[in-house]
Amino acid sequence: INLNMKKSILFLCLMNSILIFSQKNDISEKRLQKYIYFLSSDKMKGRQTGSKEVFKAADFIEKQFKKLGLEPKGEMGYRQTFTAKVTRVKVADSLRKSENIIGFIDNHAKKTIIIGAHYDHIGLGDLGNSKDEKENIGKIHNGADDNASGVAGLLELARYYSQNNHSKNFNLMFIAFGSEELGLLGSKYFVEHPTIPLNTVHWMLNMDMIGRYQPENGLAVIGYGTSASFEPIFKNITSDIKFNLSKDGRGGSDQTSFYDKKIPVLFFHTGGHPDYHKSGDDAEKINYPALKSILEIEKNAVNNSMNIPDMEFVWTN
Q: Tell me: the pLDDT tens digits for 38-93?
A: 999 999 999 999 999 999 999 999 999 999 999 999 999 999 999 999 999 999 99
pLDDT of residue 164: 83
Residue 244, judged by CB atoms within 10 A of its CB (0-12, 13-18, 19+), counts as exposed
Say whether pLDDT at 225 is over 90.
yes
User: Do residues 45 and 53 touch, judged by C-beta distance below 8 A?
Assistant: yes
* pTM across the whole model: 0.92
Say whether pLDDT at 174 is over 90.
yes
pLDDT of residue 313: 79
Say whether pLDDT at 150 is over 80.
yes
pLDDT of residue 96: 98
Say whether pLDDT at 14 is over 70.
no
CA distance 181 to 89: 13
Q: Is 211 helix (H, G, I), strand (E, B) or coil?
A: coil
